[in-house]
Structure 1
């Protein structure tokens, strides 16, 4: 008997909500028609990747930024409707966004 079965015995009226978001986290993020622009720059001699051009809610863009930083295991920030990722991760970011259903445009280099 696992933990879920034990909890069902203790709380028979409770409805489990675990199967709602198993298909991925894109269900809460709005997909747009225009491509997200993926740029590469060097600031103070260090490479960074900038994502801009998202027209949805800022909360969705913040969720996307957090997910990208977690998957790539790098630092970054969200400022002025732009996601700034430390390092040159254009190829990896573009594949992650394409898997989620976004269209991405590579700019520079």
Structure 2
């Protein structure tokens, strides 16, 4: 007896609906200038900074959220920069290039 049968026994009047796939693909502003992805150390800890986005701040904040979820790390959006905890330049640049952005590596 699978889960659907068990649910049908518990709720005989309920008719299951088909699952809808929700695509949350954003239409971000793709620019001609590359996003700058640089590495710094602040208070002895490594951080990755992404800057140079010319679109809307809300799009850049959404991009920051997606990057943080992808990497499973903390970070913030301040002064039109995305600040990610740790040195993840390679993975971030690969993610941005998959999204269609041009990137430039700075700082080593």
TM-score interval w.r.t. the shorter chain?
0.7 to 0.9
Matched, 1:65 2:78: no
Pairwise CA distance, 1:4: 2.0
Output the CA distance in 2 between the equivalents of 1:3 and 1:62: 37
Pairwise CA distance, 1:28: 2.3
Match of residue 4 from structure 1: 17
TM-score by length of 1: 0.80
Alignment of 1:46-57 (within 5 A): 46-57=45-56
CA offset digits 1:58-80 (Å, max 9, x no partner): 00000000000000000000000
Q: Name the SS for the 1:102 alignment partner.
A: coil
TM-score by length of 2: 0.80
Match of residue 107 from structure 2: 108
Unaligned runs of 5+ in 2: 5-14
Q: Count the aligned residue pairs.
A: 95
Output the CA distance in 2 between the equivalents of 1:74 and 1:66: 10
Pairwise CA distance, 1:50: 0.1
Q: Name the SS for the 1:28 alignment partner.
A: coil
Output the CA distance in 2 between the equivalents of 1:95 and 1:74: 17
Q: CA-atom RMSD, angstroms?
A: 2.0
